Amino acid sequence: MFTVPMRLPIAFSLLLASVASLQCHLGYSILKGSTIGEATQKCGRDTDFCYNATVQVFSLTTLQKAGCNTILCQFVPNSCYQRKLLGIPVTFCCCKNEDFCNRGEMTVRCRIEH
């Protein structure tokens, strides 16, 4: 009879826990130059990405929302893309390469790089 050492199941469960435990910034900001705050969220699924959505509405107003999401990011992992919603350009940035990778600076970096 084949037996599995006790350490193997424990190590495997720790590996699974680390895969599904991506942590992201969570929140929103309204004023240009403000941050999304210090709230965080532990993503619930291993398919989740951290995201940051930014839209410039007026010269002094930049709406920004951040959190965990699978659907927004499934086709553009670890990158930024822009879509028009109701005629207004919205920048979505998605990342999964490290915890808390969706800070507002990410959107600025993506605009500079692209």
Instruction: Dump pLDDT digits (tens) for 42-86.
Output: 999 999 999 999 998 887 788 999 999 999 898 888 999 999 988
Asked if residue 45 lies in contact with residue 22, where contact means CB atoms within 8 angstroms, the answer is: no
**pLDDT at residue 109 tops 90:** no
Burial 42-57 (b: 16+ CB within 10 A, else e): ebeeeebbbbbbbbee
Helix (H, G, I), strand (E, B) or coil at 111: helix
Class of domain 22-113 (CATH, top level): mainly beta
Asked if residue 64 lies in contact with residue 32, where contact means CB atoms within 8 angstroms, the answer is: no
Asked if residue 55 lies in contact with residue 32, where contact means CB atoms within 8 angstroms, the answer is: no
Mean pLDDT of 13-22: 54
Q: Where are the domains of the chain?
A: 22-113
Distance (Å, whole) CA 43 – CA 96: 11
Residue-level pLDDT at 95:
95
40 confidence band (pLDDT: 50, 70, 90): very high
Residues above pLDDT 90, as percent of the chain: 43
